[in-house]
């Protein structure tokens, strides 16, 4: 044990602790939260404006460059923020093996959904 830092050499070597990954996670969650304020408000306002619109109208709206950019940014920020938030929930309520499995499944699901959403938007934006 390092007497000055009250941490074992192993913990230091692994780079764990409140001033390492903890701050990174905390900070990223908040940066994404700030980004999500305008992105989600734009999304909700747009969806309200699109209420009852048919497929052709929706596609025309989504193909506008501003809409495409905003939607991709929303998906990136939304699923990154979701992964960070759900990670804390899983870490608080699941333990040992099931925690590890839940974290892996959750993280991969978020990656998969974000990719699927972005590809769908780009397919609509650039598809023939």
Partner 1 sequence: MMPTSPAKRPRPLSPNIQIYRPQLTSVLSIANRISGVVLSLGAVVLVIWLLAAAAGPEAYAVVQGALASWLGQVVLFGCTFAFFLHLCGGIRHLVWDMGYGYELSLIYASGWAVVAGSVALTVLAWIASLLLGD
Burial string for 47-74 (b: 16+ CB within 10 Å, else e) reads eeeeeeeeeeeeeebbeeeebbebbbbb
Residues within the interface to partner 1 (CB under 8 A): 30, 33-34, 37, 40-41, 44, 48-49, 51-52, 54-56, 58-59, 62, 71, 75, 78-79, 82, 85-86, 89, 113, 116-117, 119-121, 123-124, 127
CB of residue 43 to partner 1, shortest distance in Å = 9
- Rounded CA gap, 103 and 83, in Å? 9
CB of residue 23 to partner 1, shortest distance in Å = 12
| Between 1 and 49, CB nearer to partner 1 | 49
CB of residue 1 to partner 1, shortest distance in Å = 24
| Between 14 and 112, CB nearer to partner 1 | 112
* Cα dihedral 117, 119, 120, 122 sign: positive
Alpha helix locations (H) across the chain?
9-14, 21-49, 55-63, 65-93, 96-126
| Between 11 and 63, CB nearer to partner 1 | 63
CB of residue 76 to partner 1, shortest distance in Å = 12
| Between 14 and 41, CB nearer to partner 1 | 41
> Where do we find the tokens 């501003």?
66
């Amino acid at each position: 044990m390092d007497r000055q830092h009250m941490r074992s050499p192993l913990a230091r070597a692994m780079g764990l602790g409140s001033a390492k990954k903890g701050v990174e996670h905390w900070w990223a969650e908040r940066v994404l939260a700030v980004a999500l304020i305008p992105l989600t408000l734009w999304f909700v306002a747009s969806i309200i404006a699109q209420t009852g619109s048919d497929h052709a109208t929706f596609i025309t709206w989504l193909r506008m460059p501003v809409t495409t950019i905003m939607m991709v940014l929303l998906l990136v920020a939304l699923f990154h923020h979701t992964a960070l938030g759900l990670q804390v929930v899983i870490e608080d309520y699941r333990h040992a093996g099931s925690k590890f499995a839940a974290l892996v499944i959750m993280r991969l699901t978020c990656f998969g959904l974000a990719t699927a959403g972005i590809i769908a938007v780009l397919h609509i934006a650039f598809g023939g």
